[in-house]
Amino acid sequence: MKNSFGQSLTVTLFGESHGEYIGAVLDGIAPGIKIDDEYIKERLSFRRPSGRISTARVEADEYKIVSGVYEGRTTGTPLCLIIPNTNKKSGDYSALRYTPRPSHADYTAEVKYHGFQDPRGGGHFSGRVTCALVAVGAIVASALRAQGIEIGTRVASLHGVRDREFECLKEDIEVLNKKSFATLTDKAEENMRREAECAAERGDSVGGVLETAVIGVPAGVGEPWFD
């Protein structure tokens, strides 16, 4: 039951929604990479909930790197960062053991961890944990940008509303990376938000499709289809 993924570069997630901290360990990162504090904070600010279609829980998301960095650059040893949980309203989550919420991991966690999991706020399976992923992702993305490699993700469609075609150009990626709701056109964003808000008013949810593009990757990088 590992909470790590990756081979050459391994990310390990830890923490729970209402614990003291969430965090991540990044192992395998090269030494000498500059930590771009402003870029990490920018990415975290885009993740921060806002508006009617996201969680009401808002945190400062003030990360702290506790190992693997010296004088602003990576050392090559495991990089560990932590983010405190400051807006916790735990209350009584004991009822979730008997009435798990739909579209959550409450029941799955109950079975997987034999009832020993932390049920508060979704525990280890809370969207809160993605904050640590964004932080370490920003570190890696910053290193790739220094080599001319750009990454962009957009909401390609949501409940029948589609964005325009993704040309996979640097200009498109620059547009996406400046938006908290990543669509290439403002009209698509407006219509998608409306669909999500209407679903929320009905007490429902809607699905969507995300599309990611990576440009600037040197030819020949990658693996065959199978190991």
| Token output for 80 | 């560990």
Instruction: For residue 210, give the H/E element and its range.
Output: strand 208-215
d(CA 37, CA 187): 32
Q: What is the pLDDT at residue 164? A: 94
Q: What is the pLDDT at residue 61? A: 87
Mention every residue, 6+ apart, whose C-beta is less than 8 A from residue 75. Answer: 31, 68, 69
Q: Compare 186 and 49 and report the one with higher pLDDT.
A: 186
Q: What is the mean pLDDT of residues 109-123?
A: 90
Q: What is the pLDDT at residue 48? A: 81
Q: Compare 179 and 135 and report the one with higher pLDDT.
A: 135
pLDDT at 200 over 70: yes
Q: Where in 50-197 does DSSP place strands (E)?
A: 64-67, 69-70, 73-74, 79-84, 150-158, 161-162
String of DSSP letters for 22-79: EEEEEESPPTT-B--HHHHHHHHHHHS--STTS-S-------EEEESEETTEE-SSPE
Tens of pLDDT, residues 59-70: 778 999 999 999
One-letter amino acid for residue 29 of the chain: I
Tens of pLDDT, residues 145-157: 999 999 999 999 9
Tens of pLDDT, residues 163-195: 999 887 889 999 999 988 999 999 999 999 999
Ordered by start, the domain boundaries in the chain are 8-147, 150-218
Q: What is the mean pLDDT of residues 128-154?
A: 94
Q: At 220, is the pLDDT very low, low, confident or very high (cuts 50, 70, 90)?
A: confident
Query: 């964005």: which residue's tokens?
Result: 163
Q: What CATH class does 8-147 carry?
A: alpha beta
Q: At 95, is the pLDDT very low, low, confident or very high (cuts 50, 70, 90)?
A: confident
Q: At 226, is the pLDDT very low, low, confident or very high (cuts 50, 70, 90)?
A: confident
How many Cβ atoms from other residues are within 10 Å of residue 195's Cβ?
A: 16
Where does residue 211 rank: exposed (0-12), middle (13-18), buried (19+ CB within 10 A)? middle
Averaged confidence pLDDT in the chain: 90
Q: At 1, is the pLDDT very low, low, confident or very high (cuts 50, 70, 90)?
A: low
Q: What is the pLDDT at residue 54? A: 74
**What pTM value is reported for the model?**
0.86
Query: How far is C-alpha 150 from the chain's CA centre?
Result: 17
pLDDT at 57 over 80: no
How much of the chain exceeds pLDDT 90, in percent? 63
